[in-house]
Amino acid sequence: MERQMGVYMLLCGGGTLYTGWTNDLERRLSAHMSGRGCKYTASHQPVQLVYFEPQPSRSAALRREAAIKRLPRAQTQALIFGPSNALPFLFPEKWATIDKNQWTRQ
């Protein structure tokens, strides 16, 4: 797959969400899953990719990441299951494995 700039969200152990940006989603996801992505995801395993939104540039990705981090959880969940999520189209196999019961945590 071609490298794509964008914003992503991970569902972490305990039902928390982690939001970040990348220019290489496969590499970044691999780093998070192996515990090398960042301190937060290393201590909140397992992680599962639940959202990806392509962005045209690094600055756009950083702005969008900041905007998503300010959203209440209900709006974040609406993004994950809404039309802006490119994950079902780019990685249908990952999207099919998402456990919808994880979304009961407030």
pLDDT at 106: 41
Residue type, 37: G
The closest of 52, 59, 64, 60 to 28, measured between CA atoms, is: 52
Number of residues that this document lists for the chain: 106
**Higher pLDDT among residues 8 and 97, named by residue:** 8
95 — pLDDT class (breaks 50, 70, 90): confident
Name beta bridge partners: 9: 19, 51
- Please name the residue ranges forming H helices in 3-105: 25-33, 39-42, 58-69, 73-80, 87-90, 92-96
pLDDT at 96: 74
Q: What predicted TM-score, i.e. pTM, was given to this entire model?
A: 0.85
pLDDT mean across residues, the chain: 86
User: Span 6-32, mean pLDDT?
Assistant: 92
20 — pLDDT class (breaks 50, 70, 90): very high
Cα–Cα dist 39/48, whole Å: 16
Map residue 90 onto helix, strand or coil. helix
105 — pLDDT class (breaks 50, 70, 90): very low
Tell the residue number behind the tokens 């496969």, with chain if given. Answer: 26
